[in-house]
Amino acid sequence: MKFHVNKNHFEIILNHLQPFLDKKDSSQITSHIYLETKEEKLQLKATDYEIGLETKVDIKKEIDGNATVNGKKILEIVKRLKEGEITIETDSQNLHIKQGKSKFKLPMFDANEYPKNIVDKNITEIHFDTSSFIQSLKKITPAIDSTNQKPELTGALLEFKDYSFHFVATDTRRLALIKQDIQSIESFSIILPKKAISEISKLFSENIKIFYNETQLIIENEYYSFFTRLINGRFPDYQKILPKELKIQLQLPKDKVIEAIRLINSLSQKIKITLRESEVFFETISIENSEQAQTQFEYQTNIKEEISIGVDSRHILDFLAQIDTNIFEICINEVTTPFIVKSENFLTLILPIN
């Protein structure tokens, strides 16, 4: 195999493939990137079996062939080369990288042993607006608990039911939910790993095709083909914990709430919010020392009897960071029961601090 490739274009592609490599054990073939020339394109693949990416880059081909190369090491080399063209060729055991008077040699695995196409072709397509799909995943991601001992809570639930598509995530202290109305499709429910969501958000922005089956989710566009294995588990029945009725529902200004919370956060992440008839009051919750912070802003809530809730402020800030409007809604039943913050079709159910 021998070809010439633009250094900058090649570096971008190699960077995109890094999260899909097995970096724990360089003796494994999954620590390598697979390379194969096809006409005037170079096809590249990386996978650790759980998640994978295929892509391609324009080249000037001299000799057809395929190879593998350590993904981390080839990126480190390419990053240090000058702008311009790089020549890559292989012999029976090594891959050679050349530019000007600089030469590098890296060992290869047998390319024929690289994992074949591990995407199951028995898949169903989901027709969904790309922007809405990506933005919904981003909004619920902060509520995913990637360290939870229960695998099903380390990802996000995607399901279609009741004529709407639900995106759900929970870390057991809060639950984020988005409902999107889409064309009727067959009901389904899958759990998508947090790492997969992170990579989807980085790689894709428009014009994607989405496919799934019982074990995999596949996303494709003109440049990339991405796959991830799904989490095998039963997601909690979140519908049971969503309150059917809400005693207090009022709108609050996002910018003023963020400003007030950040002031209190200078001393404590745990805060108490008190809603009064004509103001919203914020203060620290502290039992360890005498430190205290307070602030407030005037706002007509029309609440006749004040109500106070203790909360981990990060949960509210995470929600507010994801909404586009400057007004959001807070919904409360009792001070000891979960309350809701919501904007349009996005809500977060939060457990209070007693």
pLDDT confidence tier of residue 304, bands split at 50, 70 and 90:
confident
User: In the chain, where are the structural domains located?
Assistant: 2-113, 124-240, 244-350
The pLDDT value recorded for residue 162 is: 75
Residue with tokens 């000799």: 63
pLDDT confidence tier of residue 188, bands split at 50, 70 and 90:
confident
- Over residues 112-162, the pLDDT tens digits come to 999 986 666 678 888 888 899 999 999 999 999 988 899 999 999 999 887
The mean per-residue pLDDT over the stretch 334-346 comes to 94
Cα distance between residue 169 and residue 139, in whole Å:
10
**Burial environment of residue 200 by CB neighbours within 10 A (0 to 12, 13 to 18, 19 or more):** buried
- Element (DSSP H or E) covering residue 294: strand 294-298
- Over residues 35-46, the pLDDT tens digits come to 999 889 999 999
Averaged pLDDT of the chain: 93
The mean per-residue pLDDT over the stretch 307-334 comes to 96
Take residue 168 and report the two structure tokens written for it: 């759900």
Dihedral sign of CA atoms 13, 15, 19, 24 in order: positive
pLDDT confidence tier of residue 184, bands split at 50, 70 and 90:
low
The mean per-residue pLDDT over the stretch 34-58 comes to 95
How much of the chain, in percent, has pLDDT values that exceed 90? 82
The pLDDT value recorded for residue 163 is: 80
The mean per-residue pLDDT over the stretch 252-263 comes to 97
Q: What's the CATH number for 244-350? A: 3.10.150.10
Cα distance between residue 51 and residue 229, in whole Å:
6
Residue 301 has pLDDT above 80, yes or no: yes
Residue 183 has pLDDT above 90, yes or no: no
**Burial environment of residue 219 by CB neighbours within 10 A (0 to 12, 13 to 18, 19 or more):** buried
The pLDDT value recorded for residue 23 is: 85
The pLDDT value recorded for residue 302 is: 85
**Do the domains at 2-113 and 244-350 have one common CATH topology?**
yes
SS3 190: strand
For the 124-240 domain, the top CATH level (class) is alpha beta
The mean per-residue pLDDT over the stretch 248-253 comes to 95
* Beta-ladder partners of 272: 283, 310
The mean per-residue pLDDT over the stretch 270-296 comes to 90
The CATH architecture annotation of domain 2-113 reads Roll (3.10)
- Over residues 63-89, the pLDDT tens digits come to 999 999 999 999 999 999 999 999 999
Closest C-alpha among 268, 252, 277, 275 to residue 328: 252
Closest C-alpha among 337, 280, 267 to residue 306: 280
The pLDDT value recorded for residue 161 is: 81
pLDDT confidence tier of residue 185, bands split at 50, 70 and 90:
low
The mean per-residue pLDDT over the stretch 93-97 comes to 97
The mean per-residue pLDDT over the stretch 196-217 comes to 92
The pLDDT value recorded for residue 291 is: 86
**What residue ranges in 203-288 does DSSP mark as E strands?**
209-212, 216-220, 224-229, 248-253, 270-275, 279-284
Prediction pTM value: 0.89
The pLDDT value recorded for residue 181 is: 83
The pLDDT value recorded for residue 205 is: 87
Closest C-alpha among 246, 255, 237 to residue 299: 255
- Largest interatomic CA distance in the chain: 82
